Amino acid sequence: MSMPPWKAISLTSLVSSYLLVSRQAEWSTAQLVRAFAGLWLLQALAFGAWAVVIYPKLFSPLRGLPQPKGNSFFMGQLARIRDEPTGYPQREWARTVPNDGVIRYLGAFNQERLFVTSPKGLSEVLVTKNYDFEKPSDVRVFLGQILGVGVLIAEGDEHKLQRRNLLPAFAFRHIKDLYPVFWQVSRDAVQAMTESIKADAAQRTESEDAEKALSGRKDTSVIEVGSWASRATLDIIGIAGLGRNFDSIRSPRNELADAYRAVFTPSRQAQLLGVLGMVLPPWLVRALPVKRNNDIAASSRTIKSVCYDLVREKKEKLARKELSDVDILSVAIESGGFTDEGLVNQMMTFLAAGHETTASAMTWAIYMLARYPDVQKRLREEIRANLPSMDSTEDVSSLQIDHLSYLNAVCNEVLRYYSPVPLTVRVAAVDTTIMGHHVPKGTRIILVAAATNVDQEYWGPDAAEFNPDRWLPKHEADKAAASGGASSNYAFMTFIHGPRSCIGQSFAKAEFACLLAAWIGRFNFELHNKEELDEKNMVIKGGVTARPAKGLHVYATVVDGW
Ligand code: HEM
């Protein structure tokens, strides 16, 4: 069921109340208002009963599909979805609810969701019938404030056009020129981290109780990985994407970083507005005078004004015929396919889509390597044997990075095991089908990388284990290793697939590999809270990207000799 038909309810209440009241010889406005309110409430309640109880339980054509047990009467599976990390309930249902590729479950107010579990179903939604499925309007309105109305939000022909104009900037022949930029920023981050760790270690006295665990360790300090990762990825997208150094590695409290922090920090109010967005029109939810809406509006203004400045500066350079930069904005300007407003929207998209995601990947990479010290050690050996030290000013090329088989295996395995975007949503724009099942217009479709990426049916019995070796060829002709041994390409959903797949995939993979190589080459990481060695004790926060709820605190030690 889609949004309540508020307009129709209000209009029929108005007409009926007028017809009822105006029949009387004498009537007042107060009577009219009372009649209107009574009729409006009656219709709203009737619609509520129909949409929340009668339709999903008795009439929906989807009600015969396989579904999980334990629904609450009004709120379906909402409690689990709200309380568990994003995608985890679906991960369990994929395993425990027998299905042929589609599972139906109920969300808030028993709204129906179709969770697509099989490669065939995913290929229909993402490729063969891609334009039958859109991003839901409440999601687009929320994201549009922060991301601008760029390629991530556009639909239909507008999306095709924008994507076509942007693709050249993301082609590998262009991304390969950005590797030296990724490496330089990674080096900057490592140098700033080294200075901070050494300064911290020098200040520490052995008598400080709270730091007892550190005594005896040279050049060690406790750092919060997520914050360093966000700052590094913001600087990378700044320089390589937009040609501007935001310098957030050295000065963490810049206006842009603060704006994103305000938007992406999860809060109860954000959750509540999300649920309201399912029953109220998006413009109304956005107009509510609450702190969360004010924060988003203020952040949106900051981000937009930074992007306007950037586009203006670049255009001036172009007019003076000085533009020879390799960043993505320059390539997009030179393509001539965008107005200034259009460019600002795309820049907002790249900034948001391109930095929190990779920062999440970095955070999970350090978490997993801290849990698996053998993998960390093996990776450090490969990096140190093949890449220039952080103290040298030597650049690296795409070939050098892409030829490091263990580095790429670890990156792929982290992206599989902890997909930075655990789940994404579509809505059927027309009556359609998935794997032969009728799907009425308005049905929400749920695609869950956090479930599909670890599904035993496609990855084999060790799907739930962290094992980078699955990405290494077992023998010369081992083609399966390129897809981690999975039985289908659709088993890896981190960047999804098809015309709406992540346009920044090559950018992200290269940036991630450079950052991880630089950090692991220089530092050893151990968990600060040993309880987090058991994944079950790691609390994960929801939102668009998945991160440890309380941050990831690790002992970072400078390892000599590179
Ligand atoms: C590890 C890092 C990243 C991950 C896991 C990731 C994941 C994704 C996913 C899952 C989508 C599809 C969302 C949906 O349609 O529901 C997407 C789309 C997109 N991503 Fe990424 N992304 C990453 C990095 C980047 C970077 C670095 C950029 C830009 C420089 C970028 C730009 C975009 C854009 C523009 C889209 C929209 C594409 C379209 O709709 O045509 N992403 N990304």
Ligand 1 contacts CB of residue 506 (under 6 A): no
- Our mutation pick for probing the ligand 1 site, out of 162, 329, 357, 362, counting the most ligand atoms within 8 A of Cβ, is 357
Domain spanning 148-421+494-558: which CATH class is it, in words?
Answer: mainly alpha
Number of the ligand 1 atom closest to the C-alpha atom of 328: 30
502 Cα–ligand 1 center, Å: 4
Ligand 1 contacts CB of residue 350 (under 6 A): yes
Binding residues for heme: 502
What one-character DSSP code corresponds to residue 425?
Answer: E
505 Cα–ligand 1 center, Å: 7
**Which helix (H) or strand (E) segment is 21 a member of?**
helix 6-22
CA dist 179 and 121 (Å) reads 36
Task: Find out whether 370 and 519 touch, Cβ atoms under 8 Å.
Answer: no
Ligand 1 contacts CB of residue 353 (under 6 A): yes
What lies within 8 Å, CB to CB, of 304 at 6+ separation is 148, 344, 348
Ligand 1 contacts CB of residue 345 (under 6 A): no
Number of the ligand 1 atom closest to the C-alpha atom of 166: 35
Ligand 1 contacts CB of residue 87 (under 6 A): no
Report the nearest-CA residue for atom 37 of ligand 1.
152
250 Cα–ligand 1 center, Å: 27
Q: What is the pLDDT along the chain (562 residues), one digit of tens a residue?
A: 567 788 888 899 999 999 989 888 888 889 899 999 999 999 989 998 998 889 999 999 999 999 999 999 989 999 999 889 999 999 999 999 999 999 999 998 999 999 999 999 999 999 999 989 999 988 888 788 788 888 999 999 999 999 998 998 899 988 999 999 999 999 999 999 999 999 988 887 554 545 555 655 778 999 999 999 999 999 999 998 888 889 999 987 788 888 887 877 767 788 788 778 777 887 888 888 898 889 888 988 998 998 999 899 888 887 787 766 678 888 888 878 888 888 998 998 998 888 889 999 999 999 999 999 999 999 999 999 999 999 999 999 999 999 999 999 999 999 999 999 999 999 999 999 999 999 999 999 999 999 999 999 999 999 999 999 999 998 888 888 889 999 999 999 999 999 999 999 999 999 999 999 999 999 999 999 999 999 999 988 767 788 898 899 999 999 998 9
Helix (H, G, I), strand (E, B) or coil at 540: strand
The complex scores an ipTM of 0.99
CA dist 355 and 230 (Å) reads 7
> Where are the chain's structural domains?
148-421+494-558
- Paired residues of 222 in beta bridges: 555
Report the nearest-CA residue for atom 4 of ligand 1.
357
Number of the ligand 1 atom closest to the C-alpha atom of 349: 35
